[in-house]
Structure 1
Amino acid sequence: MQNRSLPADIKLLVLDIDGTIAGVENEIRQPVIQAIRAAQAKGIKVAIATGRMYCAALRFYEAVGSTLPLMAYQGAWIQEPATQTIHRHWTVPKSLVLQLLDYFEQPELRSLLSVHFYINDQLYVRELTSETKEYAKRSGVQPIPVGDLRTALTAEPTKVLALSDDTALITTLLGSLQSRYTPAELYLTKSVATFFEATNPLVSKGTAVRYLAEEYLGLKAENVMAIGDNFNDVEMIEYAGIGVAMGNAPDAVKALANWVAPDVEKDGSAAAIEEFLL
Structure 2
Amino acid sequence: MQQSPASQPTQSSSGDAADIRLLVLDIDGTIAGVSNQINAAVKQTVQAVQAKGIKVAIATGRMYRSALRFHHDLGADLPLMTYQGALIQDPATQTVLRHWTVSKNLAAQLLDYFEQPELRDLLSVHFYIQDQLYVRELSSESKNYAERSGIQPIAVGDLRTTLDREPTKVLALTDDAILIDRILGHLRAQYTPAELYLTTSVATFFEATNPLVNKGTAVQYLAEEYLGLQPHQVMTVGDNFNDVEMLQYAGIGVAMGDAPDDVKAIADWVAPSVEEDGAAVAIEKFLLS
Q: Bin the TM-score by the shorter chain.
A: over 0.9
**Percent identity over paired residues:** 73
For structure 1, the 5+ residue unaligned runs are: none
Runs ≥4 residues deviating over 2 A: 3-8
Cα distance change, pair 45–5 in 1 and its aligned pair in 2 (3 A): closer
Is 1:117 paired with 2:127? Answer: yes
- Length, aligned pairs only: 276
TM-score by length of 2: 0.94
CA deviations on 1:194-237 (whole Å, 9 max, x unpaired) are 10000000000000000000000000000000000000000000
Give the C-alpha shift of residue 152 in structure 1. 1.0
Q: CA RMSD in A?
A: 0.9
Which of the numbers 67, 70, 73 marks the counterpart of 2:77? 67
Which residue of structure 2 aligns with residue 79 of structure 1? Answer: 89
Is 1:257 paired with 2:267? Answer: yes
Is 1:141 paired with 2:151? Answer: yes
**2: CA distance, partners of 1:142 / 1:154:** 21
Is the CA contact 2:14–2:251 (under 8 Å) kept in the aligned structure 1?
no
Give the C-alpha shift of residue 10 in structure 1. 0.2
**1: CA distance, partners of 2:238 / 2:186:** 25
**1: CA distance, partners of 2:14 / 2:238:** 18
The letter of the residue matching 1:59 is R
**2: CA distance, partners of 1:130 / 1:7:** 44
Which residue of structure 1 aligns with residue 59 of structure 2? Answer: 49
The letter of the residue matching 1:60 is F
**2: CA distance, partners of 1:218 / 1:37:** 22
Give the C-alpha shift of residue 8 in structure 1. 2.5
Is 1:208 paired with 2:218? Answer: yes
Give the C-alpha shift of residue 5 in structure 1. 6.3
Is 1:21 paired with 2:31? Answer: yes
For structure 2, the 5+ residue unaligned runs are: 1-12
The letter of the residue matching 1:32 is V
SS of match in other structure, 1:255: helix
Which residue of structure 1 aligns with residue 254 of structure 2? Answer: 244
**2: CA distance, partners of 1:226 / 1:166:** 29
Give the C-alpha shift of residue 139 in structure 1. 0.2
**2: CA distance, partners of 1:202 / 1:4:** 25
Give the C-alpha shift of residue 154 in structure 1. 1.9
Which residue of structure 1 aligns with residue 284 of structure 2? Answer: 274
Cα distance change, pair 5–94 in 1 and its aligned pair in 2 (3 A): closer
Is 1:9 paired with 2:15? Answer: no
**1: CA distance, partners of 2:96 / 2:104:** 21
CA deviations on 1:7-46 (whole Å, 9 max, x unpaired) are 5300000000000000011000000100100111110000
The letter of the residue matching 2:38 is I
